[in-house]
Amino acid sequence: MRSKLIIGWREWAGLPDLGVEHIKAKVDTGAKTSAIHAYKVKKFMQDGAPWAEFRLHPVQKRKRPEILCRAPIVDERAVRSSSGHEEVRFVVSTTLRLGPFDRKIELTLTNRDDMGFRMLIGRQALMKQFIVDSGLSYALGEPGHI
């Protein structure tokens, strides 16, 4: 059996396909799919397939830097937030970097401007590789050390 990496309730993550080197992420095993704060979201077609263009601020409570991102849309689905509000979101496919691991994940695009973290890492992204220790923070290290 392959050993699993222990991570904390919050970690530094990377989204290399989107040009995001580091972003603070809350690990949320109560959420099925991962989510990221995105705005100015537009759907467009590329080579006959739907894609999303969006902008994000990877740093909490700051409007800079602003990163322009593009990713393939794999679905549009209704998602219910922890407050009970339901919205239809684009779901994109991208690579998540957590410590030494890179893996393809599904990521929903939503407005998280009022939330404490710009990104949530849901349980689908964690399956088979990670164990969450809720008593730890940044178990994989600070930016530059991950």
Provide the total of helices (H) and of strands (E) in the chain, helices listed first: 1, 11
pLDDT band at 145 (very low <50, low <70, confident <90, very high): very low
129-140 pLDDT tens trace: 999 999 999 999
Beta carbons within 8 Å of 140's beta carbon, 6+ residues apart: 5, 7, 8, 11, 12, 98, 99, 146
97-134 pLDDT tens trace: 998 889 999 999 988 767 779 999 999 999 989 999 99
Q: Which long-range contacts (CB under 8 A, 24 or more apart) does 77-80 make?
A: 77/108, 79/33, 79/35, 79/108, 79/110
Superfamily name with CATH number, domain 14-129: Acid Proteases (2.40.70.10)
Beta carbons within 8 Å of 130's beta carbon, 6+ residues apart: 4, 5, 6, 7, 98
What is the value of pTM for the model shown? 0.88
42-75 pLDDT tens trace: 999 999 999 999 999 877 766 777 889 999 999 9
